[in-house]
Amino acid sequence: MAQVVTSHRGPVTGTATKKKKRRPFLLDLYSTSVGKKYVMGATGIMMMGFVLFHMIGNLKMYLGAAHLNEYAKFLENLLVPIAPEGVVLWILRGGLITALALHLHAAYSLTMLNRKARPVKYQSARDYQIANFASRTMRLSGLVVLAFIAWHLADLTFGAVNNETGKMITENGEELKNVYGAVVYSFNRVPVALFYVVANILLGIHLFHGAWSIFQSFGWNNPRFNTWRRAFATGFAALVVIGNVSFPIAVMAGIVK
Ligand code: HEM
């Protein structure tokens, strides 16, 4: 017998009639784990761009004090006189701070989602170890990099732990912030230089996993270009680490003084 469908039946519970509040599309997307992975990937790309250009800029220290100090001044003067001095740099800093905050939030909430989705440990020892090796290293390396950034800003931006940061110097008749002097002062302290080396190696591991995962997050996963993915992740991480680690080593070795 055909089933009679009545359209007059009332709701069984109050929840059946409760209207779902509509959230803006981007917030809705962010509430899903795919959305959080997009955010991790996009903010990761922004920060990868920063670390690469920061490293390339810092190579100027091999050309001498005047070059590095003038480079710092150049960053302050971006788009002057269209924009007042320092404004573009502050906009870039704002973008970087936002990217870092979103990256941290997405990482934290993805971890929470993963824990909620799998409160029971994996049964297979092999899967358990492989699945967790990368994520555990990512959290550890991420936290060390975070601690490094805090020290680094206190050291070379605010001068809280560096007597030379912010001091002025006259070069070719121009008054410049002596960024070079501050870097040399910083790395002449061996424990600080060693911390920079260790933190930047961990940054490299973080970048390697991150650069590899970006493709996964955006769904660009095809066996045909997986070799390129690995090559890109390895090359990018190696470039940044070698460049960054060379600075404290060059100061300790007396090449930069
Ligand atoms: C050994 C490697 C590094 C050296 C020699 C170095 C050097 C410097 C110097 C000299 C400054 C101050 C620039 C100025 O006052 O104009 C600075 C700022 C900064 N560095 Fe680094 N840095 C290194 C690695 C890193 C890494 C790996 C990161 C991020 C993970 C980083 C993030 C920053 C940030 C966020 C600032 C503040 C930028 C600003 O507000 O203008 N640095 N760095």
Mutation test of ligand 1: which of 152, 179, 246 has the most ligand atoms closer than 8 Å to its C-beta? 152
129 lines ligand 1 (CB under 6 A): no
Q: Is residue 131 part of a domain?
A: no
DSSP string, 168-186: EEEETTEEEE-HHHHHHHH
Is the residue at 113 inside a domain? Answer: yes
Residue to mutate, 53, 156, 256, ligand 1, most ligand atoms under 8 Å from C-beta: 156
In this predicted structure, what is the pLDDT of residue 129? 45
With a 6 Å cutoff on the Cβ, whether 58 touches ligand 1 is yes
pLDDT in tens, 65-92: 999 999 999 999 999 999 999 999 999 9
> Residue 204 falls within a domain, yes or no?
yes
Enumerate residue ranges in the chain where pLDDT < 70: 1-20, 118-135
In a domain, 16, yes or no: no
Q: What is the tens place of the pLDDT at every residue in 237-257? A: 999 999 999 999 999 999 999
Report whether residue 65 contacts ligand 1, using a CB cutoff of 6 Å.
no
Sequence-distant (6+) residues with CB within 8 A of 186 are 155, 156, 162, 164, 192, 193
Q: What percent of the chain has pLDDT over 70?
A: 85
How many Å lie between the centroid of ligand 1 and the Cα of residue 38?
Answer: 26
Cα separation of 101 and 39, whole Å?
11
Token couple for 57: 């800029």
How far, in Å, is the centroid of ligand 1 from the Cα of 90?
14
Domain contains 247: yes
Domain that holds residue 214: 32-117+144-252
Q: Which of 69, 87, 100, 157 to mutate to test the pocket of ligand 1 (most atoms within 8 A of CB)?
A: 157
By alpha-carbon position, which residue is closest to atom 40 of ligand 1?
93
Return the pLDDT at 96: 98
Strand, coil or helix: what is 105?
helix
pTM of the predicted structure, to 2 decimals:
0.88
Distance of CA 10 from the midpoint of ligand 1 (Å): 64
For the chain, what is the mean pLDDT?
A: 89
**Position 239: which residue type?**
L
Phi, psi of 169 (to 5 degrees): -145, 150
How close is the Cα of 152 to the center of ligand 1, in Å?
7
User: Domain tally for the chain?
Assistant: 1
> Residue 131 has what pLDDT?
42
245 lines ligand 1 (CB under 6 A): no
State how far the Cα of 254 lies from the Cα of 248, in Å rounded to an integer.
10
User: Among the atoms of ligand 1, which is closest to the Cα of residue 165?
Assistant: 15
For ligand 1, say whether the CB of 54 is within 6 Å of any of its atoms: yes
Residue 9 in domain: no
Domain assignment of residue 214, yes or no: yes
pLDDT at position 88 is 97
- The pLDDT value recorded for residue 126 is 45
